[in-house]
Chains A and B, each alone.
Chain A
Amino acid sequence: GAGVSQTPSNKVTEKGKYVELRCDPISGHTALYWYRQSLGQGPEFLIYFQGTGAADDSGLPNDRFFAVRPEGSVSTLKIQRTERGDSAVYLCASSAGTGGNEQFFGPGTRLTVL
């Protein structure tokens, strides 16, 4: 079956612009996670959805970052007024639910803010 997919694979934008990054989780997975991976670092947790609701958004760095999952499937990470420091690979993962289920990661979206 299909794995987690993310679009676009690469996004180049200018400082101050708005961007949206999309994640399509594995069908039937109720939990969805967003992480950010800077060059040479491990992924850093941003937000976790259980169904349609954000169960934990403690990793979002500031109010320029927002994520939605309106129908409990596809999720969109939105970044307003992008800054050069936002440049990173944004990873999405999904799992079958809580209780120790494996997280399956997508290939990521590489965001470059010029």
Chain B
Amino acid sequence: TQLLEQSPQFLSIQEGENLTVYCNSSSVFSSLQWYRQEPGEGPVLLVTVVTGGEVKKLKRLTFQFGDARKDSSLHITAAQPGDTGLYLCAGETETGFQKLVFGTGTRLLVSP
């Protein structure tokens, strides 16, 4: 069974702080995606990383895929209350996004 472990499980910070969320597995994935999910809604895709060592930036969010394609990180700079939500990583088990393996999730709360 392929598992994706995320850490921390819960993070409560003040507006303006920086944070990093980690997503780790013993399995190799062909690509890895990061989602954000708000209460009562489905996950929304933030980014997809494909190449080992790849770094992608989305405004204040920086995503990195590990060299061995087993792990990934999400770094948020100067967090804002609007960043509050559940962050999920998901690995593509085989080419074509046919079946995603989701991580355990990191719940982020950013207070003003």
- Please report A residues at the B interface, Cβ cutoff 8 Å: 4, 31, 33, 35, 40-45, 48, 55-56, 58-59, 91, 93, 95, 98-108
Contacts and interface: CB of A to CB of B under 8 A. Distances in A.
Contacts of B98: 31, 48, 55-56, 98
B90 A91 contact: no
Contact of A103 (B31, B100, B104): B100
Chain A contact residues: helix, strand, loop or mixed: loop
Contacts of B13: none
Interface residues of B, number: 23
Interface string B31-48: 100000000111111001
Contacts, number: 65
A103 B99 CA distance: 10
A42 B97 contact: no
A43 B99 contact: no
A97 to B, nearest CB: 9
Contact of A100 (B41, B96, B100): B96
Contacts of B99: 45, 48, 56, 58-59
Contacts of B45: 102-103
A4 B101 CA distance: 20
Contacts of B31: 100
Interface core residue of B48, B100, B103, B105 (most chain A CB under 10 Å): B100
B100 A45 contact: yes
A43 B44 contact: no
B88 interface: yes
Contacts of A103: 45, 97, 100
Contact of A101 (B6, B43, B97, B100): B97
A93 B4 CA distance: 20
B43 A105 contact: yes
A42 B88 contact: yes
Nearest to B38: A107
Which 9 residue pairs are nearest across A and B when measured between Cβ atoms?
A: A105-B42, A42-B102, A98-B96, A43-B102, A42-B105, A42-B88, A45-B99, A105-B43, A42-B103
